[in-house]
Structure formats: C-alpha cells, structure tokens
Structure 1
Amino acid sequence: MAQIGKRNLLTIVRSSTPGLYLDGGTHGEILLPGKFIPTGAVVGGKVEVFVYRDSEDRLVATTQQPLVQVGELAYLRVAGINPRVGVFLEWGLEKDLLLPMREMDGPVNPGDRVVVMVVLDDRTDRLIASARFNRRLDLKPPHYHEGEAVQLMVASKSPLGFNLVVNNAHRGLIYHTEIHGPLRVGDVVQGYIRAIRPDGKLDLALGQAGHRRIGEMADKVMAVLTAKGGRLPYHDNSLPEEIRDVFGMSKKAFKQAIGTLFRERQIIIDPDGITLVGPVDGEQGAAEK
C-alpha cells in the first residue's frame, strides 16, 4: 500500500493521457502526471515516487524528491505568507508546504527559515508542517544506550546550550561546555548519547569527542580493574569521593564507563561491585595476590 508523505516503489497499472496510473493498494490508483514520467517507464514496471494530496484532495505522485518526509524534521525557507491561512515553505516540490497558523511557534517573514516537522493533518489528511513539534515527539522513555551514535537536529537555543531532536523522535540537550565548534539552529549533525537522565531526557555530545571520552573512561576503568585482580567494590551507589580517588574521574563518568563495559559484556555489575568477565592477565593477577 502506498504511504502518504513517503517515497514509495509502486507498480505502473496503466497509461493514459494525463500520465501513468500507479497501484496504490487500498488507496486505489494514483496518478503520476506526464511531466514526471521517467524515461523507460512501462506498464507493469515499477517507479519510485513521493505520494501526497493535491489542492483538490486527490492523491498524486511525483518523481520530485522533497527535502523531508512525514515524521521528519527540516529547516525550511519561508516562500510566502497568507495571514488567514499560514506560511508556505519551500520543500523541493512544485507545491509549497503549508505551515498553518495553529502550528506556528512565533512570527516569521518571507526568506526566514524555520525548523518544522512534516505531519499528516488529522483534520484534512493532508501533509502540513508543524513548528510546535515538541508535542509530537515520542515521550516514552528512550531505549538508547550511552555512547550510541545518533542523528541530531538543532531545534533551538537554550540558556544551557542547544535543544536538539534525536533521530526525529526524542528531545535532548547539549551544554555549552560540550560545544567545541560552530553550531546553528537547523544544523543536522551526528552526535552521541552522553547520558540518559532518570526522567528520560537525553544529554548529548557532538561528533566523535563525546564517544571518545566515554571510551577513554571505559579503558581507564578496565585498566584499574585488571590491575586490581578483576574485582572491585565500586558501583552506581558508591560515593563520588571514592570513585574519584580510585579511578580519577567523576561518578557520572564512571557510571557511563561501566555502563558501556557492561553492554560490551566486558564486566559484570552487581550490588557489591564490578567484576571483569574472562581471565585476568596472569602477571597482573598474581601481582595483586
């Protein structure tokens, strides 16, 4: 079945004067206008198209590729404004994308850019943009792990740093102290999960720096653990002062490090401490004994 607001690979059912009709499954036949027909397209073959509704609410297909699909965020330019309807955004198709007044997060002017999510409007079944997308993000506790690589969209500035959207689904924050280069609203960058808070919110790191930092801390824990015979009485509830004295890092960094090592199955974490998985180096283990 064809998905509205997505790129689809659809079968060509028949040819007519207006263009080609494609098999849209339960949506019925969908017209691909003649001006969008690719070279070599024949009845029975397949064609990759984007499906949306036109101004008359008919499903149509196009081989033009929009800058963003339904459920995704993008930083789009304002093409025009209708005070009674909303704002029209350029998104790579002939027909501009509507940002309705009720979905706006503040005033804009022609030529401005705005971060929006493309959604399927419950009222009209048409694709629209929403600048008030926070309410559309996934509020369930995320299933990421610390150090995991993710795609980030810079959504807005914050007194603490920048608010970002993780994988088009979850909210996150990167602190000013974690930013080591230019960062602007609308940027799409790769980052890493730095920490997962108890309330499910995400602290983030940009580029490889955050990932390397967690890796370095994990290596440090492994070195101390190996040198001490493969077993140490430190865990999530240990005092920060103890962690700093033994490992030379903050308790937060320690928790990130042992979380990474646990997921990589290099250590076992129990209520009384951490234990190395596998044999300890003979000489180091003997030395500690």
Structure 2
Amino acid sequence: MAHIGTRDSLRILNEKTFGLYLDGGDLGEILLPRREMPEKWTLGEFVDVFLYNDSEDRPVATLKMPKVMPGRFARLKCVAVTGVGAFLDWGLPKDLLVPFREQKVRMEVGKNYIVHVHVDEQTARIIASTRLTRHIDQEPHDFRTGQAVDLMAYAKTDLGYKMIINDTHSGLIFANDVFQPLHPGEMLKGYIADVRPDGKVDLTLHAPGRAKIDDLEGQILAELKARGGFWAIGDHTSAAEINEELGVSKRAFKQATGALFRKQVIRIEERGLRLLEETDWSPSEG
C-alpha cells in the first residue's frame, strides 16, 4: 500500500498529457510528472517512487530521493519565507515547509537549520520542525556500553555537546572528550560510553573497551621508559595536548593511568607520572 513520505513500488496504469499515472491504492491514481518519467517504461510494470504532496496537497510521485526521509533529522537550508512559514531545500521540486508553529525561532533565508522531518498528523503533509525535543524519543532505549552508533551534533552546553543517537534518542559527549569544534548538524560515528541509572546516555567518539586501555597502558609505559622514568603529563594537561601526544581522550588517558597506578607500575605526582623502579610489567599481565 502506498503512503505519503515513503518509497514505494507502484504499478503504471496509463499515460496522459502530464505524465504517468500510478496505482496508489487508497490514495487513488498518483501522477509521476512527465519531467520525472523514466526513459523506458511499460504499462503494467512497477516503478520505485517517493511520494509527497504537491502545492495543492495532492499526492505526487518522484523518482528522486529527498535529502532526508521522514522520521529523521537533518541540517537543511532555508530558501524562502512566506505567509505560511519557511521553506527548506530538501532536494525535491517542491520545497519542504516549516510552519510557523514548528519554528523555535523565526527562520531566515540563506541560513541552515537542524530539523526533524515527519508526516504531520493534522494535515497528512510532510513538514519539518526545529522544535527538536518534541521529536527526540523519551521512551526507554536498549543502548549498551560499547555499542557503535550514528550521531548528529545539535546543541552545545557547558558540559559538552548534545547529540542525536540513531535518529531517535539523545546523549552527551563531554567537552574533554572532544578535540575539535563540532558544528550543528555534523554527522559522526560514535560509541555508547555509559548508560546511567536514570537512562541518560554518555557518548564517546573513541571505541571503548579493555583492549584499547591495555594498548594505551603499553604506550604510556613505553613513553615513560623512553623519557627516563618521568613524564610531565597528568590531570593538569589539557585534553588537546593529551590527544596530540597519545591520540586519545583525556578520559581514556585517566583510565589507563589509573589502571597503571593500581598495578603499582607508576606513581601519579603533581607534576606528572613516574615509573616505579624494578618493574617487570607488560599489558598482558593481571
């Protein structure tokens, strides 16, 4: 069955002046405009199309795919503002409407905005909204520590960056885990660092896990030996410096140095790390 906002395979019924008419089931006959018609086609065969509404709210088909499918978040440019709202370029002949009621702040032509795209329950049209929290899932999730996820940056706070996880929930990357500015709408691969008892999610851009920490312990140990047993690095060192030296976050660095300290391999001093004498340690040993 055909639905607005989905990609469907519909049967070609006939050709008329304006293009091909497709079998839309409960939606009736749906026009695939002549400019959209495939070079070769046959009556009765099926064609894959995306369905949306034209300027008169009639279902219409296109062979193109929008820049973002309904149910997802994206960063899109405002190309027009009219008496009904703002319009965004989403890659289709008819621009995407953001009604005034769905604008957290009034949108301006030429600016980019993070929006959620969805089929409006009231009008059955595809619209977008900048009121993101309305569309971020508040239901319990099943994320697990170490899980790889897709992220989109959408807000910056004093603690770090708020991220949309897998187009559903939200989480936070702490500022000391990030070594370059993140921009609104930026897409990243990340990992679940921690799921708190209240369900809130901490994120990281670095693969967590014991093996990674073991490798990092070995790096720190090798560097300490190369430096004669002392390295002026520690809590006082900035996250950017730690990333430059070791290619990891400050949190991962603190995990590794904490593990070395507990193994009585190093001493953590005010000025840095000191390798304890007569140590025969390797990352593979307990």
TM-score normalised over the length of structure 2: 0.72
Per-residue deviation, residues 120-171 of structure 1 (Å, max 9, x unmatched): 1122110110111212222111111111111111111122111111111001
SS in 2 for 1:211: coil
In structure 2, the residue matched to 1:15 is: 15
Aligned partners of 2:85 and 2:264: how far apart in 1? 57
SS in 2 for 1:20: strand
> Partner amino acid for 2:193?
R
Partners of 2:191 and 2:208 within 8 A in 1: no
Give the Å deviation of 1:16: 2.1
Aligned partners of 1:247 and 1:74: how far apart in 2? 49
Partners of 2:100 and 2:106 within 8 A in 1: no
SS in 2 for 1:38: coil
Partners of 1:22 and 1:29 within 8 A in 2: yes
Per-residue deviation, residues 154-189 of structure 1 (Å, max 9, x unmatched): 111122111111111001111111112342111111
In structure 2, the residue matched to 1:36 is: 36
CA change 1:11–1:215 in 2 (3 A) is: farther
Partners of 1:21 and 1:29 within 8 A in 2: yes
CA change 1:2–1:215 in 2 (3 A) is: farther
In structure 2, the residue matched to 1:284 is: none
Percent identity, please.
42
Which consecutive segments of 4 or more residues in structure 1 shift more than 6 A? Answer: none
Give the Å deviation of 1:23: 2.2
> Partner amino acid for 1:245?
R
> Partner amino acid for 1:194?
A
Correspondences of 1:269-288 after superposition (within 5 Å) = none
Matched, 1:211 2:220: no
TM-score normalised over the length of structure 1: 0.71
Correspondences of 1:86-101 after superposition (within 5 Å) = 86-101=85-100
Correspondences of 1:107-256 after superposition (within 5 Å) = 107-206=106-205, 210-213=206-209, 215-217=211-213, 245=262
Aligned partners of 1:35 and 1:132: how far apart in 2? 35
SS in 2 for 1:185: coil
Aligned partners of 1:130 and 1:30: how far apart in 2? 27
SS in 1 for 2:5: coil
Aligned partners of 2:189 and 2:71: how far apart in 1? 19
In structure 2, the residue matched to 1:60 is: 60
Aligned partners of 1:214 and 1:99: how far apart in 2? 46
In structure 2, the residue matched to 1:81 is: 81
Partners of 1:147 and 1:214 within 8 A in 2: no
CA change 1:56–1:108 in 2 (3 A) is: closer
SS in 1 for 2:35: helix
